Amino acid sequence: KKYEIGLIGLSVMGQNLALNIARNHSIAVFNRTETKTRNFIKNKVKNQELKATYKLEEFVSSLAKPRKIILMIKAGKPVDLVIDSLLPYLEADDIIIDGGNSYFKDTNRRLRNLKEKNIKYLGVGISGGEAGALHGPSIMPGGNENAYAEVSDILEDAAATTNKGACVSYLGPNSAGHYVKMVHNGIEYGIMEVLAEIYAYLDQVLQLKPDEIGDIFADWNQDFDSYLVEITAKIMHQDDPKTGRKLIDLILDKAKQKGTGKWSVQSALNLGTAIPTINAGVNARLVSALKEERINNSSQFASSTRAVVEKKKMLPILKKTVFFSSVIAYAEGFKLLQAASEEYNYDLNYKEIARIWEAGCIIRSGLLEPIQNAFKENRNLNSLITAQQFKSQLNAAAEEIAPLVESAAKSGLPIPAIHAALDYFNSLKSKKLPANLIQAQRDFFGAHTYQRTDDQGTFHTEWK
């Protein structure tokens, strides 16, 4: 018997995706360390058409031609190593699908190299964590379009679904899929940080208990329908079995990162696009990592006096801030996608991207429906902030956020992502920014010249 598809890499994500695919298609699996495969087969696999293989050659020869092989392995060097070890067994027209969080430039390189060998390559972003992989993730494929046509039925069957269809769609050539997934994660970083800042405010300024905070997030989420808000509420309610205390109060305030947020910011800078809220999310994790330094510093500064605010007045403002800052994080992400699409010829369809993010992925939320409508009405929308779906609400929210910003500053509470979102919005709607002074300064110290409002051309002044 030949199997329809093969999967290499049995981490939890790989295992769950294999089980998901096996519901509708026959699948062979392989993992570098044999015991992982044996444990998987013993503990997780019931009656599925799922074949365990223990030699790479056996794995490849158990697949129907052209072979379709999904890699669910750690981004970076391991992907190259596995591809190299597969190559001796592959033939022209076989298809390799990288389902990890690979850096988009690596995907371009692999695609180019494999094309020379007539191997078709797909760089596929898969979002939804362990549960998503098992029950239906959001799948973001890019690369060889013919290869996509050959695996689309398998990916569609595995993906999450909405009433608009499966949350998978061919996004574009080369690294389009991994680029879109990278930006998905960038938005994820931004929204996570916004929610963390709101939590900090509820905890430290309003001095609410985790259970109360959880109730507030759960209540808001009736309107937001956001996965990240939903899990934030659940996290607040979680007890620690060991101590009986709330687990959130026992978790160290130091966050790690694996790279996709940083890459989003690096790529945005390379493309000359500002994504300040997403950037704030990345920076906040970096600063959080300086725990020792923060502890030392805290003893050197007198602590700020907590602002006295009325909970009843502040809660609606905090809720609006979540809405406002989340929309801005998506707006930044889509603007980055537009810049990348132009630079790398991805020819991205933004409405379709918002559609496949509606279920399965980490940034799924009620905002993705109006985002789709915004791009449906205007394919070339400059920014989501001017979409009629958001415009007036954002404008109202930006003003209403003021008491939050003020009381956070008074209390010495950092809210970098919220500040960034607010400043991004206010900057983008400013007819006049103080860049006239920046131009003058550049010309003053470096004769870099400047442009004028009342005349064409470039000018230089002998500044006094």
Among 260, 283, 321, 411, binds ligand 6PG (CB under 6 A): 260
- Is 112 known to sit in a ligand binding site? no
Residue 130 and residue 330: Cα distance in Å, rounded?
Answer: 23
Q: Least distance to ligand 6PG from the beta carbon of 18, Å? A: 17
Query: Rule CB under 6 A: is residue 245 a binding residue for ligand 6PG?
Result: no
Query: Rule CB under 6 A: is residue 15 a binding residue for ligand 6PG?
Result: no
Q: Interaction with ligand 6PG in 347-366: which residues (CB under 6 A)?
A: 361-362
The neighbour count for residue 177, using CB atoms within 10 Å, is 32
Q: Which of 51, 120, 181, 335 is catalytic?
A: 181
- Is 100 known to sit in a ligand binding site? no
Active-site annotation holds for 181: yes
Q: 450: helix, coil or strand?
A: strand
Q: Interaction with ligand 6PG in 115-154: which residues (CB under 6 A)?
A: 127-129
The answer to whether the CB of 216 falls within 8 A of the CB of 315 is yes
Q: Is the peptide bond before 66 cis (omega within 30 degrees of 0)?
A: yes
- Is 178 known to sit in a ligand binding site? no
Q: Which of 51, 68, 188, 246 is catalytic?
A: 188
- Is 245 known to sit in a ligand binding site? no
Residue 282 and residue 296: Cα distance in Å, rounded?
Answer: 23
Q: Least distance to ligand 6PG from the beta carbon of 356, Å? A: 12
Axis-axis angle for helices 260-270, 311-344 (nearest 10): 60
Cα separations in angstroms, 33 against 56, 81, 83, 252, 295: 12, 15, 17, 32, 42
For 136-205, where are the alpha helices, taking DSSP H only?
A: 145-158, 176-200
Query: Rule CB under 6 A: is residue 188 a binding residue for ligand 6PG?
Result: yes
The answer to whether the CB of 396 falls within 8 A of the CB of 324 is no
Question: Which amino acid, residue 46?
Answer: K
Instruction: Provide φ and ψ at 259, rounded to 5°.
Output: 135, -30
Kindly indicate which of the ranges 113-121, 254-262, 274-282, 415-423 contains the residues binding ligand 6PG, using the contact rule CB under 6 A: 254-262
Active-site annotation holds for 431: no
Q: Least distance to ligand 6PG from the beta carbon of 200, Å? A: 19
The answer to whether the CB of 245 falls within 8 A of the CB of 239 is yes
Q: Least distance to ligand 6PG from the beta carbon of 213, Å? A: 22
Classify strands 120-127 and 138-143 as parallel, antiparallel or unpaired.
antiparallel
Kindly indicate which of the ranges 47-55, 206-214, 253-261, 322-330 contains the residues binding ligand 6PG, using the contact rule CB under 6 A: 253-261
Active-site residue list: 181, 188
Q: Which residues are annotated as a binding site?
A: 9-14, 31-33, 73-75, 101, 127-129, 184-185, 189, 258, 285, 442, 448
Contact positions vs ligand 6PG (CB under 6 A) = 101, 127-129, 185, 188, 257-258, 260-261, 361-362
Question: Residues forming the annotated binding site for NADP(+)?
Answer: 9-14, 31-33, 73-75, 101
